[in-house]
Amino acid sequence: MNQLSMFDQVQFAATSETFMDDLRGFDDFGQPTVTEAVEGIPYLINEFWTAGQRQAHSIHEVSYRACFKAQLPEFFIGRLTKPGDVVFDPFMGRGTTPVQAALMGRQAFGNDVNPLSTLLSRPRLRPISLNAVAATLKGIDWSRGEIERDDLLAFYHPATLKKLEALRLWLAEHAPLGADDVDPVADWIRMVAINRLSGHSPGFFSGRSMPPNQAVSIKAQLKINEKLGVEPPERDVAAVILKKSKTLLKDGSAPSQVRSSLHTGAAWSVPGIADASVDLTVTSPPFLDIVQYAADNWLRCWFAGIDPASVAIDMHKTEEAWTAMVHRVLEEQARILRPGGYVAFEVGEVRNGKVLLERLVWKAADGLPFERLGVMINDQEFTKTANCWGVDNGAKGTNTNRIVLLQRH
């Protein structure tokens, strides 16, 4: 699959007027865009992309809590940048935006306060081969591991846990945390292992656990085992890693010429990125207090050797605190974006639709050097009478993509 030629069939929109006209005239799925103004904010409502529109590249299939689909950054990258431009995400999470940027021949920049994000993103930004992964796995001494934490036997068969400990020792030697030059294959193996630690099928190292985008507590896992009346079965760690690698690489890997720059720290301070060097930011911040990132990732942090208590993830329990955080983030975007560069700032419905975060982002941009273009709502069940102003299904979380569009003066 030639990702670059396929994606660049979309015409590059050079001006905000061209882009906004494109959104207003969008009807790829048979429905015209609905436009309306609410509290002075222009809204554009349609089904702008769908999971069925084009299956995302296989290398995106890395589980992580609270991440958007690759079709979202693809939509903006294809319309607002050209090959070689810099695309950035200050809350990169599993790395969807930088990975998609790399697949489309753009420079892949990212940042996250959690060092796990670099471990999940960096390996997929470099060319890798399945043969190299297989050969490296065969060369690991799987007999070195000793059980250091008996409580993890709630998740793993003793033989499996010993192999995981052997892999941790090997990774500490071949891909140490914080190293500037990490072996790409070792980096890849760690990334895959982090994503196979716990799940609900034999494709994971653990016995049956929660879905793979988070890890339950030891106490909760013991209750799962008791309820099912089972003990964790033995898993072939190398075989699990190789099988998942084959799935991830089904569509190929990132182009070799792509330049990447990944950072760990607060989203409102990324000193490693130069002034006016970014062409497009596509991002989605933590949504108020609905996701416990540190608690969800404790098992991944154990495997990677990261102290979760050292990860300074902010929890914003009030609208005022969240808005202030977004303002600081947008101040930093104003510094690093070139004049004419864009921000696509995705938020969602939270607290049963009672809080519409896009209005808080709109407010947070006040006084900063941005033109506020409007708010896109991507509604997967779009009709002309779609109710986009509240959630009626009792779900706590995101039901539509709501993207605030800004352009740097």
Instruction: Give DSSP secondary structure letters for 69-80.
Output: -THHHHHHHHHH
Q: What's the whole-number mean pLDDT along residues 27-40?
A: 94
- Is residue 285 in some structural domain? no
Q: What's the whole-number mean pLDDT along residues 50-61?
A: 80
| Structural domains in the chain (count) | 3
CATH code assigned at 74: 3.40.50.150
The radius of gyration computed from the CA coordinates of the chain, to the nearest angstrom, equals 22
Is residue 106 located within the same domain as residue 19?
A: no
Would the pLDDT of 97 be above 90? yes
Would the pLDDT of 186 be above 80? yes
Q: How far is CA 101 from CA 110, 171, 295, in A?
A: 10, 28, 29
Residue 22 pLDDT level (bands cut at 50, 70, 90): very high
Please tell me the predicted confidence (pLDDT) of residue 15.
Answer: 75
* Predicted confidence (pLDDT) per residue in 337-375, tens digit: 999 999 999 997 665 567 789 999 999 999 999 999 999
* Predicted confidence (pLDDT) per residue in 267-314, tens digit: 999 999 999 999 999 999 988 665 566 677 899 999 999 988 777 666
**Mean pLDDT across the chain:** 89
* Predicted confidence (pLDDT) per residue in 210-267, tens digit: 876 778 999 999 999 999 999 999 999 999 999 999 999 999 999 988 899 999 999 9
Percent of the chain residues past pLDDT 70, beyond the cut: 86
Please tell me the predicted confidence (pLDDT) of residue 121.
Answer: 97
Is residue 244 located within the same domain as residue 259?
A: no
Q: Are strands 86-89 and 107-112 parallel, antiparallel or unpaired?
A: parallel
- Is residue 284 in some structural domain? no
Q: How far is CA 69 from CA 56, 80, 95, 156, 371, in A?
A: 8, 18, 11, 31, 26
- Is residue 343 in some structural domain? no
Residue 7 pLDDT level (bands cut at 50, 70, 90): very low
Domain termination site, one of 207, 240, 274: 274
Strand order in the sheet with 278-283: 34-38, 41-46, 370-378, 401-408, 337-347, 278-283, 86-89, 107-112, 260-264
Answer whether 334's CB lies under 8 Å from 368's CB.
yes
Answer whether 11's CB lies under 8 Å from 21's CB.
no
Is residue 204 located within the same domain as residue 188?
A: yes
Answer whether 104's CB lies under 8 Å from 1's CB.
no
Total residues found in the chain within this entry: 409
Q: Are strands 337-347 and 401-408 parallel, antiparallel or unpaired?
A: antiparallel
Please tell me the predicted confidence (pLDDT) of residue 392.
Answer: 43
- Is residue 123 in some structural domain? no
Residue 80 phi/psi, 5° resolution? -115, 0
Please tell me the predicted confidence (pLDDT) of residue 307.
Answer: 87
- Is residue 53 in some structural domain? no
Would the pLDDT of 11 be above 50? no
Q: What's the whole-number mean pLDDT along residues 384-390?
A: 49
Is residue 179 located within the same domain as residue 262?
A: no
Q: What's the whole-number mean pLDDT along residues 96-115?
A: 96
* Predicted confidence (pLDDT) per residue in 319-341, tens digit: 899 999 999 999 999 999 999 99
Would the pLDDT of 157 be above 60? yes
Between residues 137 and 400, the one the model is more confident about: 137
- Is residue 124 in some structural domain? no
Please tell me the predicted confidence (pLDDT) of residue 6.
Answer: 42
- Is residue 300 in some structural domain? no
Is residue 139 located within the same domain as residue 233?
A: yes
Please tell me the predicted confidence (pLDDT) of residue 250.
Answer: 97
* Predicted confidence (pLDDT) per residue in 188-217, tens digit: 999 999 999 999 999 999 999 987 677 899
Please tell me the predicted confidence (pLDDT) of residue 293.
Answer: 61
Is residue 111 located within the same domain as residue 90?
A: yes
Is residue 78 located within the same domain as residue 138?
A: no
Please tell me the predicted confidence (pLDDT) of residue 42.
Answer: 97
Is residue 104 located within the same domain as residue 140?
A: no
Q: Which domain holds residue 164?
A: 130-248
Between residues 117 and 393, the one the model is more confident about: 117
Is residue 244 located within the same domain as residue 148?
A: yes
Is residue 102 located within the same domain as residue 160?
A: no
Which run of H or of E encompasses 263?
A: strand 260-264
Q: Which structure tokens are listed for 269?
A: 């301070």
Please tell me the predicted confidence (pLDDT) of residue 382.
Answer: 54
Is residue 94 located within the same domain as residue 139?
A: no
Please tell me the predicted confidence (pLDDT) of residue 389.
Answer: 52
- Is residue 267 in some structural domain? yes
Is residue 140 located within the same domain as residue 243?
A: yes
